[in-house]
Structure 1
Amino acid sequence: MAHEHDPPSPSEIPGVTLGSQWADEQARRPSPAQQKQARRDTFRRNFLAAMENSGLTIDALSEQSGVDMPTLRRWETKGVIQPKHSHLRSVARVFGLADPWMLLDPDAEISPENAPSSRNSPTRSLHPTIEEVRDDRPELFDAFTTEEWSELTSHRGVGGALSYEGVIHQAERINRKREIRRKFETLLESEHFRTLADMIDLMHRDVQLPRPK
């Protein structure tokens, strides 16, 4: 005599439980669009935090980093998924970030302690002449990093410390070097890379750098 049986529940059917779990996991996983938006939001949050810590305006950041205003405005309002490498490095340098990729890190906590301002203070006391120039010409030192302050204080003039004019000359030279490095990094990411590399190789052969002792 045939016996009637209740239909098996989904949990009794082989593979159904695992399939349901997989479907649930897929449903909870962010969609590609959500993942992209999360990356934009992460960058924007870190960028705005670094901006606040630096005390810079967008105009000043554009001038010091060389990144165009439309790009910075887009970062400020919408974020970005993958910024141009040269732009990222230039902005991170102005912010004083040792690691440019920190701006893309969702776990980054950008604070005054780990995101030093582009207006870093010198790590040691300054010669009175340097302090005098800094008070008279503060615009010369707006973008100075801690390393650049150290470079300035390491320079000596004829017979001793730098003169007033000597401090101005060295500060302008440091600012010029920073600007050249920024342009150099931009060119490295451009179609002029090969031409630039050939020029550097040619000039490097004519320069004899002192060997480290």
Structure 2
Amino acid sequence: MSNSNSGTPPPPALQGEDPWAEYEPWQHRRVLLLVAVQRAMLAKPPAGVPAAAVVGPNITRILEAARNAPHPPLIIHVRNNGDVGEPDEPGVDGWQLVHEPLPHEPVLDKLKNNAFANTRLGTYICPEAEIVMVGTQSDFCIRATCNAAIQRGNEVLILRGAHATYDRLEVWNGGTITPASKVEKEVEVQLEEAGAILLDMNDLPDLFADR
């Protein structure tokens, strides 16, 4: 795993300015990427993912650990923009982030599963950075973004219990339903085979420590 580097974050935004316009990605060699950690996905089921009651608090613990680390990682919030009428349609309550970003934590809006697609995410994260990735949905945004990061050369860390999805309707298989918990495990196997490192919540105390 990469050594952390305590870069100085840019100042809070002034009106009409982008404080990240001049950001140099090598300032941070460790990143916490929160993908679609939004109210719609982490609401009480069935509106939210089945594992919301577990995954939501776990993501909160990870974020708090990152913010309180001696050398905090770069923390980036990625917000999914759903279509009109969807729970995460821009501007509606479900679209809002669960966690209020701090002034030095950038927020990016995405339209594709891959958070690197048509966003500035790649300008904030250097290919040598270690990325801790949490959020929703495991079989869409998380899987696509992890694969893109691995292809860039990033070391990707996934924590069991810190990503989630919905039950999967198997339309091509007579309309059977695969439980979300099984889908999440399938994605973990796929990402580990692709090169991601799987960790447990028990590993959290050392996750953002110098090493």
TM-score category by the smaller chain?
under 0.3
Greater gyration radius: 1
| Greater percentage in strand | 2
